Structure 1
């Protein structure tokens, strides 16, 4: 594997200070070796920590440029620790050191102030490039983190549309809502009337009233029910 050169165009570069946080001391040691041995002197690991509170205290004293942050830690997890680090008077850049699970990790970490992600299995040169890149204010998202972020946003959008549809259905009177749901299942007016123990004329009236309230036709209301993804009826 190649290392990142200490000099670019013959001009020595200042060392970038890095702090590593992981609840596994072996991971901390491995990352220290990677950052030290493959950076050509460009990176200096100022400290390693196995918990969030200690990491924040180290950052207060050492003023690291970049923190590599694990997510799953006892007590203050990586998301909360990231938020605390970014609130310091001299906040470091934070790169999440993670396997990117469970779902929602990327979105939550970005909201807390993280600027990118590094997999613990990334090649050393890739890890170093991301550390140096974030110091140039360039977000560092590897393929896995980009894929998860897109997935999280898609799930969030689905939930938002589902909740909106459910709210619209819940705005209807109970009997009208029941008629709309039955119609969405493909029942005719006569079948809806039989299921609800009402006349066919009343079933039609319920659907007509619901359509007026929602400003939708029968097909649109069926799609609304589909989007609401209602739980199975008991």
Structure 2
């Protein structure tokens, strides 16, 4: 369960998108059986077009998105989902390790990935973590992903990234820099001697100011190359 605006508990609504009906069914069983009521699959879709239409009506909190689908692929579907008035968090549903395809998904707005072979408990944790605004990549994958993306940027993009970070308040900027290092909200709170709730507020404000998610904020920090 997640916390709603009134401080109560609510179930996290999830939509599963995969062109293989068996994958949809398997993920639904895993989520419904292992989440202890914290997460519930509200819909499944076999193609991107249906996924976007369902999201408009159902407004799921999280969409698990397969990338390799006929017609409109998962990357374009992610882009369309993130443009909705109430955009869901999108986690890439994959059987592969992060690759250049994952990079494109992040560019489209995905906030992490779930392997179809992950243990059920880890799948649940990643879904809940995404709802808390935390990127759902392991540390090694995050570093590799950010390094490849930032390494392809020309020097002028570095200056642009630095200018964008300078628009943040000092505390927002500090929280963003620590988050980009892979720290959790609690670790950032301990480092800055503030509450975890305040950390979330700083990061949410930074993301809102820059119109980007936490993964994109981390990429921006890496691109700024502040050590040089």
CA RMSD in angstroms, aligned pairs only: 2.6
Measured at CA, do residues 89 and 15 of structure 1 come closer, stay the same or move farther in structure 2, by a change above 3 Å? same
Shift of 1:144: 6.7
Residue 25 of structure 1, CA deviation: 0.6
Aligned-partner Cα distance in 1 for 2:44–2:134: 24
In structure 2, distance between residues paired with 1:98 and 1:145: 14
Matches of 1:78 and 1:40, distance apart in 2: 29
Corresponding position of 1:132? 128
Counterparts of 1:186-197 in structure 2, within 5 Å, are none
- CA distance in 1 between partners of 2:78 and 2:138 (Å): 19
Could you say which residue in structure 2 is the equivalent of 1:41? 37
Give the Cα separation in 2 of the matches to 1:75 and 1:43.
Answer: 29
Paired residue secondary structure (2:53): helix
2:60 aligned with 1:64, yes or no?
A: yes
Partner of residue 14, structure 1: 10
Tell me if 1:105 matches 2:94: no
Q: Which residue of 2 aligns with 1:116?
A: 112
Against the structure 1 CA distance between its residues 13 and 148, is the aligned structure 2 distance closer, same or farther, given a 3 Å change threshold?
A: same
After TM superposition, give the deviation of residue 76 of structure 1 in Å.
0.6
Q: Distance in 2 between matches of 1:156 and 1:116?
A: 20
Take 1:84 and 1:21, find their aligned partners in 2: how far apart are those partners?
14
Write out the 4+ residue segments of structure 1 that deviate beyond 2 Å after TM superposition.
Answer: 99-103, 142-148, 150-157
User: Residue in 2 aligned with 1:53?
Assistant: 49
> TM-score scaled to structure 1, two decimals?
0.59
Does the C-alpha gap of structure 1 residues 148 and 31 become closer, same or farther in structure 2, counting only changes over 3 Å?
farther
> Are 1:107 and 1:149, in contact at CA under 8 Å, matched by a contact in 2?
yes
Q: Give how far 1:139 is off.
A: 1.0
Q: For the residues of structure 1 that align with 2:124 and 2:15, how far apart are their CA atoms?
A: 13
**1:12 Cα offset (Å):** 7.1
Q: Which runs of 5+ in 2 are unaligned?
A: 156-228
Q: Does 1:78 find its partner at 2:74?
A: yes
Choose 1 or 2 for highest CA Rg.
1
CA distance, structure 2, for counterparts of residue 145 and residue 24 of structure 1: 26
Cα pair distance change 1:59/1:23, threshold 3 Å: same
Q: TM-score, normalised by structure 2?
A: 0.60
Partner of 2:185: none
What is the SS of the residue equivalent to 2:63?
Answer: strand
